[in-house]
Structure 1
Amino acid sequence: MDAQLVVVTGERVDTRALSLRERLLQQARELGATAAQADSVEAASQQVRAAEALGRPSVVVLGPCVEHPARLARRLSAQHPELRYVFALDPGREQAVRRELLFSAPPGGRWTALAADSPALAEHLDQALAACAQQQRSRTTLERLRLRLAGRPPLSSAEHRRLVVSDHYLAGVLACAHDAIVSLDLSGAIVSCNAAAERLFKLEHLEAEGLDLASLFDVPASLQLTLQAATRGSPTRGEFVLDEARGARVVATAFTAFRDERDQILGVVAILRDITLQREAEARSRELNERLVTTLESITDGLYTLDRDWRFTYVNRRAEELLRRDRASLLGRSIWEEFAPALGSAFEAEYRRACREQRASTFRAFYAPLDGWFEMTAYPSEQGLAVYFRDVTEALQIEQAQRAQLAAEAASRTKSQFLSRLSHEMRTPLNAVLGFAQLLALHAGDPEGLDARSQLSYANQIRRAGLHLLALVNDVLDIQQVEEGRLSLSPEPIELAEAVDTTTELLLPLAEAHRVATFNEVPPGVAVVADRVRLRQVMINLGGNAVKYNHEGGTVRWQLARDPARADRATLCVVDSGPGMSAEQLGRLFQPFERLGKETGDIEGTGLGLFVSRGIVEQMGGSLRIESEPGRGTRALVELPLWSGGAGELPTALNTAPGELLPFRPAAAPGAGADGVRKRLLYVEDNRVNAMLFEAAMRLQSDVELRVAENGAQGLEIAAHWIPDVIALDANLPDTNGYELLMRLRQLPPLRETPAFMCSADAMPEDLQRARRAGFVGYWTKPIDIEQVLGDIETVCGEGAGPPS
């Protein structure tokens, strides 16, 4: 390093001063600088002048034994204004010296101060020496310029001072600049360069001077062309690569000419910047971007990105296919303009929520213009929104088809199980019907025959089995209506206490047979909203179970429960003192045909009552649940909507349920008693077996004359010549139906008010309602109850009789 380090130890020299001096002199030699030492201002000044004579700048180090280092530095500055200083302070006097430097430091600011034992001292020395060398190089350049300007008028002292200040300023800029700055003559040779250029070119100052700049690059001719353009006065820029000796670094260059006062070009200033790392980063970025684009273009999901103004900034290939739009027509356009139907839909709501909450949103939505379902995932960022999506229409259809198939298979299994249980339940009573019928037939040829008691026993067994089959059929019909939602309901306010009284009266024979006491503990004045007939059906089922499955001498209590949290509901409780049920039994309780092991006992039932009752209660807006523990009885709880009106607003209870027929009071039958027969009955029935049964039943009624027609035409013919007192019509006939036939019979004047009964196996509530609207006064459901038929005929033909049962 072409500079001198002068160590001033002071007049008071001690061991510490000598040690510091030796260390500093050694560091100077290691830095390649000339080293000298002095003990006074005069000695230091002589060393500086000797170095200046050799064209060598100096750095002065003031050691810790110098009494007043700031004053000494100012005295030296008066003689040598361009000196640089390093104050190596005594740690014990460091603060005092620093305060002194605040007011009397050497001018120009070219100094630094730190403790003499600081490990950074060597670094400060290096920086000071380098700054001196750079300043000397700048002065050399200016000297060359001065020689070129020889013969010009001398500068005034003020101009000289300004030039000195500019020189110092320029030296500082060049020393601190990160970019390489090189001055070139018109041939492209290096005149001077700063420290950054030396590092870039890996050259010392003296080695760089006079070199052709273009020769330092791997393609000299290319840089030479750019440089020539600059020598012609055109600022130029370029990007070139240094040769292998200089590491093949990528350099960005800017060339501009500098001129004299006559605007003549004197040379070129080149500013060079190492952009190797930048270009490598850009290359890596391009590679990553290409990989990313390749990946995004190859994924099977659609992807588009939106900026904060909802404009498309990227659309991948799959998104083009799914959106059926070319990406070029979308980029830069607003999504709400290009896909206006999405405004106000789930798409807009979820996109805005994702941006507002700054979290990903995944959802499914249907977009009508594309006729498809899409699964969307929106990822928010500071730049906007990235949306991944896929068409899931086909997948949803497959999923729905699979669910439908599973549901169908489950329904099929349930149906098969139901039919299997139904077959089992029906075969048991059918075994009794067929078995006892065969016994009766076998004994018919026996000379001795059966006695009357045995015949009655067999008949009762057949009748009991038939009634069980009829109850089974009715329950199955109720199940179908409940499951299909076709249950006919007429909600009305019903007072619970009155409904319990009616139910306990109907169950009284059963309770007496089982020796079970019933208690109505429901307070009066509480009403619920329900269908009267269906509620009675549910209550009879629950009350019947509580009686049948109780023990002899047990009790059944009807109670009311109210929950303050559910003020609009009331719960009817049926509490028995029976054996109770386990948790496992409760889990099986509401399954069709489930009787919890009582199937083979002597307690009658189909196993469908609870299943049907729960469906009925739920369709009335309530709920049914069972609570029980072994040995502690059972509680059936029916929760229903509470009637909001007052007790005085409750309607009078009706004696007829929906589907039942209104009372009928006939006029005197024309021709009755004319031939000694009190009642004439016309029965139109195409089934011969049913007709035989009816004829056999009428033989038990000696005052009834029966005529049977097999179709509607035959019935009209008989009615025209033989005026009946009562008409019974089958619903389905070969040539017509019962409703049309009744209309045609009513056209005969004598039959306009003759009581008519419908006799049919159709037993749905809507069938009964239709019959009532058509003018039938009664409905005999097959299999017919002979006692009911005889009673109804007696009622409608008797005088002062009430309605048919």
Structure 2
Amino acid sequence: MTGSKLIPLSGTVPGTPGRKRSDEAGRASEAQFRLLMDAMPQIVWMMRPDGQATYFNQRWLDYSGWSLKDSLGHGWIGLVHPDDSLRVSRLLVQACGGGEPCEIECRLRRADGVYRWMLGRTAAQSDAAGRTTQWLGTLTDIDELKQSREILEKDLAMNRIAGRVARLGGWAIELPERRLIWSDENCLIHDVPPGYQPTLEEGIGFFFPEHRAIVARHVQDCAEHGIPYEFVLPKRTATGRHIWVRSIAEAVRDEAGKIVSIQGAFQDISEQKEAEARMLALEARLTATLESITDGFCLIDKDWKFTFMNGQAQRMLKRCPEDLLGKILWQEFPEAVGTRIERECRLSMQEQRTIRLETFYLPLKTWFHFHIYPTEAGLAVYFQDITQRRTEQAQLRLLETAVSRLNDMVVIMEAEPFDASGRRIVFVNDAFERQTGYSRSDIIGKTPTLLWGANTCHPEVERILSAMDNWQPVRAEVVIYTKAGKELWVETDIAPIANVSGKFTHWVAVERDITERRQQQQEILSLNGELEERVLLRTAQLATATRELESFAYSVSHDLRSPLNTIHAFSQLLLKIDGGQISDKGKHYLDRIGVGVKQMGDLIEGLLALAQLSREQIKSEQVDLSNIARRIEQDCREREPQRQAQLRIQDGLSAQGDARLLSAVFQNLLGNAWKFTSRQSLAHIEVGSESGVDGDTVFFVKDNGAGFDMAFAHKLFGTFERLHSPGDFSGTGIGLATVKRIIERHGGRVWAESKLNEGARFFFTLGRKDGAQTSRAT
């Protein structure tokens, strides 16, 4: 069928003007049609628009045990299971009333009284005027498939939740440092070497740009408010491979309830997404009529020639009817010669018996399930692509193996308590046997009370049991006992497992040995008192030393000015009075003295500025940073009018802070950008802001100048530290130290990024106190 019209197997199209079929040709066509219907693995039936059945194929008669007369009189609805009968009748009435195809799953009684699940499909046939002339339907036995699917879905759900609770592909964010840690499994998911530890920004960067803000918001909400989250998003791995991941996370709190970290896991669900896409395509094809059924179907005569193939067979075999009809099977598919496919087909034809087999066909890289039925004319072959099912079964076996080999103990229990002692254990993995000494035969069928002892905390056990009674996941730390009587502290995560219908069927517990950690915690607690006293004492000593050092630096810098001015004055006086008697070499020495005095003066001024930064109070006000940057640009251009430079300063930059100190920040950063681009034919300098991951406004100054090697970035903001020689670029090495001191006094931070000879990018933030940091673009 195509749409709702039958395609005849031979002869002319019914109703073609000027063509009349003879009775003999009609009977031959009818016989060939019945042969085709009888050879099909499905039950085929027809009925008039008034509901009167007009045809059933042989497979119906074999299945029901009824005669054709009884079948035409009662129809197939009479054998539907009582629980399904009303629903089936309503769907058929609705389909007949609207003239639309329909699909029904129901249980149908077999001749031996056994009910089996059937997939029924029906479609209307219409005449040229669009009136429904009859209904054509099929009933496909899906009982084994339905049972297998339920078992497979149950096993997949159980192992999926076990893997999820075990944090396969886990990660953590330590707070407040916001340091990201990846497990080795997570590294493999992202195509990076085991042990790779990205920054939080780099970790979020694996998501596509349009999704990064969503991820960052989830992380922020979890870190600040403890809101757990779960989402599914695409990512790009380090090698450029696109994957889909399910991400779950929750906050971890200390004993005081403070959020100290976020723990989560990634699950690569790329294959699942691909399977979902394939299933959607399959569901679309299921709505088609007989010509487009999801199973391939073809007829082969006794000479091994193709006489019929449906659309699905064409798609599976990747061949069109013009290429195959009338052609010999073994010539068109020579790779099948000598394989199990050929042997079973010949055996079916020779012994006239039905054969089923599963086999892999290499040229198409596909697993097929074949149903081969002998007929008077040859063979009727019905086949399915089961590649995905085989893949899922392999994945299930792989997941079972992975769970059994985890280092954490995995225990699966029945959903409901067996008796007063609790829920019986139905599964433990290898790690459980290794760490407790109990074998599977010792523990299977027993309850967890076998593991409890004198020091097991009963209030904690009661809390666990209460959560389980309410079907809630629970985490706890308890003492259990090995078979040898040794105490073990374990951290246990317990969660319920539900089947497809939502009914809870089991509990899964993942337990980790934390005995050593608990011992270390006790040692840490005993040292806390002494450590706090030490910290307070050292903090006071450090504050005193800092004040003395600042006072000393200010005094020394101030006292050095007087002898330095004397040296400069007398050297200039000597040059003025006795300049004519001094040799050229002497004059050179005097010039060197002058240069040294100036450099020393600059260093003293820098030290005084640094000392003053720590002593002066910050006068907070709203500061127009864009105006400051433009004023500094004008000063630079006036000093060097011959320079070719392009400066882009973002409008509306503003912040809350000390105007004089923030001006010094831009004086140093813009001054450096101007200085280190002096060797460029056209200097490019940009001043602006952007939004940081944590919501802070990040200000920046970028240039295309000399840049620096990031290997020495740790020296960049140190006092008197220089990354370029004085012969290349002038300077004292105090400017960036001044910038760092000012930014830190404003509660912010400053950092830089660069490559040698590719320019530098300096970034800084200012404190977010009472909304102190703002930036607007106009």
**What is the TM-score when the length of structure 2 is the normalising length?**
0.28
Computing the radius of gyration from Cα coordinates, the structure with the larger value is 1
**TM-score of the aligned structures, taking structure 1 as reference length:** 0.27
Q: Bigger relative contact order, structure 1 or 2, given CA contacts below 8 A and separation 6+?
A: 2
